[in-house]
Amino acid sequence: MNGRILALVLVCLWGLVSAAQAAPLTVAVKASPPFSYQQGDRWDGISVELWEKVAEKADYEYRLRPYGSVSEMLDAVEQGQADVAIGAISVTADRERRLDFTQPMFRAGLGIATRNEASGWVTTLRNLFSWKFVSAVLALVLVLLLVGLLIWLLERRKNPEQFGGSASQGIGSGFWWSAVTMTTVGYGDKAPVSTGGRVLGLVWMFVSIITISGFTAAIASSVTLNELQSRINGAADLPRVKVAAVEGTSGANWLAGQGTTFVPYPNNQQALRAVVIGEVDALVSDAPVMRYMLRERGTTNALVLPALVREESYAFAMANGSALRESLDQAMLEILPTQEWRTVLNRYLGAEE
C-alpha cells in the first residue's frame, strides 16, 4: 500500500513539474522604438526580434505582456509577475542590485536631444528684432521726442530760424537735434542759443553718453545671451537650461545624481515633443531611442548630440537567481556575433549602428 502511495505522489510531482516546464514564460515589454514597438497586434523592434530568436533556440514558449514604463516592467519581474523584461533596458548599478541581466545585447547610452537652432545672421536678426528690442527702441524714441519738445519750447522764440515754424515743424527740428546730439554725430545744422537751451543741451550730452552706452550694451548682451541659450554642446550646459527627462528612467536618475533639476514627462514621445516646440531646451534619455524617433518623424529642428552623457549596456532583465539566465546567455552568445544579427541592427539603425 505504501509503495502505491509513493508511486502516486511521484506521478503527481512529475505532472506538476512537467506542467510548470510547459507553462509559457511571461515576457514584459514596453514601447521604446527602435527596440520595441507595436505594429497593429504585433510587437516588433530590435529587442523583440532578438527575443524571438533566443526563445526559438532555447525552445521557450512565451507570451508578451505590455507595460507602461521601464520601472513597471522591472517591478513586475522582481515581484514574480513576469519572467523576463525586454526593450530598451539599460543596466545600472541600482538595477543590478535588484535583478539579474543577460549578456549585453546593445551598447549605447544616455544622450542629449536639443533644438537644432539656425546659426549666423538668421539667428542674430531674429534675436535682435524681438519684442524686448522693439520696446526698448520705442522707449528711446519717446525720450528723444520729449527732449525735442523741451528744446523747441526753449528755442522757438529766440531761435526761430532753426526751431521755428509750426508746432510740428519745430518739434521735428527738436527731435532731429536730440537724435544727432545723442549719437554724438553733431551735424551743427541746429544748435541752441538761449541759456535754457544750452543748459538742456549740456545735460543731454552727458545723459546721451550714458544712455547710448547702456542701450548698446543691452542689445549686445541680449543677442549674446539668446545665442548662448539656443546652443547646447554637452552635459556641462544642462544646469543653465530647462531640461526634461522621463520619470523613473536612467536619464532621470542621472540628472538627479548630478543635482540638475528637470521637468518630468511620462514618456519619450511627450518629452521629445516638448523639445521640438521649445517647451524645454533639452531632453536626457536613451540616445538610440531619441535618434530613431526624430528620424521616423522627419524632424529637422531637433537633433541628438553625438557625444554620449554616459555609456550604457542594454540587456534583458530577470529576477535574481533566475534559472533562465544561463540558457538565455548561451542563445544570445550564438546570435549576437553573426552577420545575420548585424543585418537586423542595420535595418533598424542604419548608419547609426
Mean pLDDT of 143-152: 88
The yes-or-no verdict on residue 18 having pLDDT over 50 is no
pTM (2 decimals)?
A: 0.60
| Largest pairwise CA distance in the chain | 137
The yes-or-no verdict on residue 27 having pLDDT over 80 is yes
The yes-or-no verdict on residue 2 having pLDDT over 80 is no
Q: Which three cell numbers stand for residue 36?
A: 520595441
The average confidence (pLDDT) of the chain is: 84
Residue with C-alpha cell 505522489? 9
pLDDT tens-place string over residues 69-117: 899 999 999 999 999 999 999 998 889 999 999 999 999 889 999 998 6
- Indicate the pLDDT class of residue 17, thresholds 50, 70 and 90: very low
Of 36 and 152, more confident: 36
Rounded Cα gap, residues 274 and 266, in angstroms: 12
Of 208 and 189, more confident: 208
Pairing of strands 106-115, 282-286: antiparallel
3-state secondary structure of 211: helix
Of 244 and 160, more confident: 244
Single-letter code of the amino acid located at 100: D
Number of H helices, E strands in the chain: 14, 13
Mean pLDDT of 308-321: 94
**Residue 327 CB neighbour total at 10 angstroms:** 15
The yes-or-no verdict on residue 298 having pLDDT over 50 is yes
pLDDT at position 226: 52
**Residue 311 CB neighbour total at 10 angstroms:** 11
- Give which of 346, 330, 312 is closest to 49, Cα–Cα: 346
The yes-or-no verdict on residue 11 having pLDDT over 60 is no
Domains within the chain, CATH numbers bracketed = 2-105+315-352 (3.40.190.10), 122-229 (1.10.287.70), 233-304 (3.40.190.10)
